[in-house]
Structure 1
Amino acid sequence: MKIKEIIVVEGRDDTAKVKSAVDADTIETNGSAIGEDVIKQIQLAQKTRGVIIFTDPDYPGEKIRKTIAEKVPGCKHAFLPKHLAKPKNKRGIGVEHASLESIRTCLKTVQEEMDVVEAEIGTHDLIEAGLIGGPLAKKRRERLGDILNIGYTNGKQLEKRLQMFQIKKSDYLSALETVLREEENE
């Protein structure tokens, strides 16, 4: 599988794993303190080929994603669910621990940032669904993010991410139904 866009990853282990899974070029941020030279590389990549941000599903990875998205508008996003990023019998979490098939799947289901339009899904909908403020909210948000390919978010980020990727209310409701059905079957 050949990827036209340049994939932004955190480090060289991520680059090695991504290049084992797909034919692609990468830019490494080398941590969450992204230098201005790296931002300039990403901006050039966005202008010439497009960019896919593919960071670890943890706090530093989300911080990197947010920093790049603010400084380089229009990037695409690939999200790796946490359960697919954990190594067997080791500590840590990251792209470098994912299977090659998981990486391919994530890169096939990238989300593209869109201009913000009026939200179809509001805070009230999220509270009513138990995605904000309930005892199962975190678990539900994590599963919803996996199903919609928008990654894990906290309560405040969820509404913004649904809006940013222009998730249709019908797709949201279908994903929520799946989450609630799975919960019942546990």
Structure 2
Amino acid sequence: MPRVFFVTGSSAGLGQALVKEILDKGDYVIATARKPEVLIFEKATSTNFLAAQLDLLDSNSVLTAYLTGVAKFGRIDVVVNNGGYGLSGPFEDLTDEDIQRQMDVNFTGALVSTRTAIKVMREQSPPGGIIQQITSIGGRIGFPWMSMYSASKFALEGFTEAVAQEMDPKWGIKFTCVEPGGFR
């Protein structure tokens, strides 16, 4: 039986590559992006693929994307919280708005997605699933010029470690952090 993946940030980079790999392996995917019309994949069909609009800064958008995915596929087995971006520059040069947006997208957006995923996975039959947080080596080691990016990823690591311990074993919900280094 194919697994159903829910991937945030599917329009470029790691998210785009992951969606391609999921389809290549014969699984199903709910690929999300702020502009879902750009989500075009060679092996996507009406059976194995759903492009859903999702803005990590809008909790209603997150909920709608999950509900749309469950309506199509009946369940979600793996959530990949990949949506985000890297803000770089000297900390002193960053504006309050720069700092807030980095934390909102990379951290708070993943929290909203995780909260929704937990509810969906707990209520589906059978319950359970995997929630993967795409953090970064920058969430384990601070790098110069990347202070706020590292802060957002360190926060996501700590949150994931804590919330994983809150899960009732009967829910069958597991967490993992994926900490890639630099890549093309």
TM-score (ref. length: structure 1): 0.40
Higher-helix-fraction structure: 1
Higher-strand-fraction structure: 2
Higher relative contact order (CA 8 A, sep 6+): 2
